[in-house]
Amino acid sequence: MSALRLIGRKNNFRELRSLGVSPFTIELRVRMEEESYGSSERSSTSSEESAPYSTDNSSHATNPMNSEEEEEEEESSSSDDYPSKRRKHGPIVEEEDRISTLPDSILLTILSSLCTKDAVRTGVLSKRWAYLWTFVPSLRFTDYYLRHAADYASFVDNVLLLHRASKLTNFSVEVEYNPELKPRVDLWVRFATTAKVDQLSLLLSSCFYKLPQHLYANEFVSELDFRACEIKPNGLVRWSSLKRLCLWNVALPKDVLNQVLLGSPRLEFLELRSCDKFNRLDIVSESLKKLVMDSYCEDGLELEIVAPKIESLEIIGEFYGMKKCQIKNASALVEVRLDFEITMEYEEEEQEEDHYKNCENVVRELFESLHQVKKLIVGRWCLKVLSIMSVKHLSCPVLNCKCLTMKTSMEKWNLPGIASLLQSSPYVETLVIDIIFSNHDSEFLDRIYDEVNHWKSKEVYFKSLLQCLKTVKIFGFGERFHTKDVFILVVEFLLKNAKVLEKMVITEPWVMQNGIHNMQLKFLQVSQKLLSFPRSSPHAVVMFPF
């Protein structure tokens, strides 16, 4: 680590000190790592260094630091390869032009972050800006101000006519679609693919758009987002550079997804959101690293995932009547989020019983195939099923996870599930409890179980547990005050039994920030109580960071 003195011009010591930076020794850790920054960048910076320094000579004279700087200068000059860069020479006046000194490439970076409508408007700013926007490599037609589909489509057509960049990095359209627009949308897609676009997003609504056939053979695109589109390739799919695919509300009849996966050998991320038309989904991919499965509204889904390289899995949303969810060969799986719910309509009690039996089977099989996962997030509904299983004396499969997150509303029917989950995770080192709001009914559970003592009776089995638990983080306590009894019970239990606990952090007490006085008082009382509980770990620290 070497100490550097970085001397900027117009040294203003007062300013620097107010920022807490000592003007004399600014230490930087300079990492001597090799990074590939092209030679063009190098020439641009050294050309800046060698630019004649005619401005601000007056301030140099008064400043001792700057005179040293002039002695030390030993820049090597090289040719200025930045043809469009302009430097203003002459005294810098207050309040004036701040932007014209920036090179075109930076202005284009700024314009790329704007949606296209705003970018087009900058054409009126000045001569330099008049057609700068036509070179922006990113086209985003995603704002809601243009209401009528007809106007919107003309707007897009107009922009595409004037656009001059030869390569597009991003082309996004969000529009309310109707079948009359098909020929125009086809042309937009053709425009984007001709410009070798990297990321293509077609987020449509109200009607389905059939993707043009030429799109299925594309070697440049690396990210595709489709909503309300129809995928129906006539031949093979060839998306050889595709890395990310997000399908939202897309019909995937039998085998279409297989064709897509076969034709995308580099696919790493797949998201299926509210897609339908398949009863059984086999996701088979050698390259897939992350899968997000969000909701399915048709009845009786059977989901099987065969992805040997998959590292992260999320199953979220609502699945109506899901029958099976299995992951084969999940040896690379590191992170799993199970924040889903299996819904069902039933009228009689018997049907309800059957439904829950089915849920128990799904959850148990799922946990069995995830036993080696290191980081697990268990959502509210899964916890509820675990509670039901626990009350029926069905155990949860053992898990090897090291970092466990539970989403719970801290109501008393959560307790058996929490207990069961802790019991099955003997190696957990970090526990995160996310307290959430839930108005979910617990009638079924109330009927078969209503004793908090159930928790206490299980304590005898907990003797050998929580051996590895080092850190506990609890979020969202302040808002749910009526659940504090259960919360206190859980915290007491953790403090009593976690023998190597180092740190318990209870954060985000909304009540403290919003200053409702008697609530604050109650919260303080609870905090006092928590701090007074006996701890089996001599080093444990309980923190309330606020």
> Which lies closer to other proteins via its Cβ, residue 10 or residue 167?
10
Q: Which among 113-121, 163-171, 246-254, 283-291 is the span making contact with other proteins, rule CB under 8 A? A: 113-121
From CA 331, how far away is CA 235, in angstroms rounded?
34
**Of 2, 40, 453, 518, the one binding other proteins by CB under 8 A:** 2
Which of 7, 165 has the CB closer to other proteins?
A: 7
| Among 81, 83, 117, 354, contact with other proteins (rule: CB under 8 A) | 117
Instruction: Confirm or reject binding of residue 23 to other proteins (CB under 8 A).
Output: yes
> Stretches 23-31, 291-299, 410-418, 518-526: which one binds other proteins (CB under 8 A)?
23-31
Mark out the alpha helices in 114-263 (DSSP H runs): 116-121, 149-162, 182-194, 256-262
User: Count residues contacting other proteins (CB under 8 A)?
Assistant: 75
Quote the CA–CA distance of 62 and 484 in Å, as a whole number: 65
Q: Which tokens go with 492?
A: 């007491």
Q: How far is CA 222 from the centre of its chain?
A: 18
Among the residue ranges 33-41, 189-197, 221-229, 438-446, the one whose residues contact other proteins (CB under 8 A):
33-41
Residue with tokens 């190098």: 42
- Min dist CB 286 to other proteins, Å, is 24
Considering only the stretches 108-116, 349-357, 378-386, 410-418, report the one whose residues sit in contact with other proteins under the rule CB under 8 A: 108-116
Q: Which listed residue (40, 73, 439, 528) binds other proteins by CB under 8 A?
A: 73
Residue keyed to tokens 């001059």: 164
**Nearer residue to other proteins within complex by CB, 101 or 166:** 101
Amino acid at 301: L
Distance of CA 317 to the CA centre of its chain: 16
Stretch that binds other proteins, among 139-147, 231-239, 264-272, 494-502 (CB under 8 A): 139-147
Which residues in the 371-430 window bind other proteins by CB under 8 A?
none
For 135-146, the three-class secondary structure string (H helix, E strand, C coil) is HCCEEEECCCCC
Determine contact, residues 368/389, Cβ cutoff 8 Å: no
CB of 64 to other proteins, least distance (A): 13
Q: How far is the CB of 23 from other proteins (least distance, A)?
A: 8
The length of the chain is 546
Span 87-106, contacts to other proteins by CB under 8 A: 95-103, 106
Secondary structure (DSSP) of 473-513: EEE--TT-GGGHHHHHHHHHHHHHH-TT--EEEEE--HHHH
58, 62, 76, 528: which one binds other proteins (CB under 8 A):
76
* Residue 154 engages other proteins in binding (rule: CB under 8 A): yes
Cα separation of 195 and 221, whole Å? 10
Strand extents, DSSP E, 344-438: 375-378, 403-408, 430-435
Beta bridge partners of 26: 4
Q: Out of 78, 80, 104, 109, which residue is the one contacting other proteins (CB under 8 A)?
A: 109
Cα(199)–Cα(459) distance, rounded to whole angstroms? 54
- Does the footprint of other proteins cover residue 12 (CB under 8 A)? yes
Distance between CA atoms of residues 278 and 503, nearest Å: 47
Residue 113 lies near other proteins (rule: CB under 8 A): yes
Beta bridge partners of residue 338, listed in sequence order = 315, 378
- Shortest separation between residue 212's beta carbon and other proteins, angstroms: 26
The binder of other proteins chosen from 58, 89, 151, 338 (CB under 8 A): 151
Applying CB under 8 A, which of residues 45, 178, 213, 513 lies at the interface with other proteins? 45
DSSP helix/strand/coil, 378: strand
| 78, 80, 104, 123: residue in contact with other proteins (rule CB under 8 A) | 123
Q: Which stretch binds other proteins (CB under 8 A): 36-44, 297-305, 351-359, 458-466?
A: 36-44
CB 100, min distance to other proteins, A:
7
Q: Which is nearest to 204 in space by CA: 242, 237, 230?
A: 230
Minimum distance, C-beta of residue 255 to other proteins, in the bound complex (Å): 35
Residue 508 interacting with other proteins (CB under 8 A): no
**What is the distance between the alpha carbons of residues 259 and 91, in angstroms, rounded to a whole number?**
65
* Residue 332 binds other proteins (CB under 8 A): no
81 binds other proteins (CB under 8 A): no
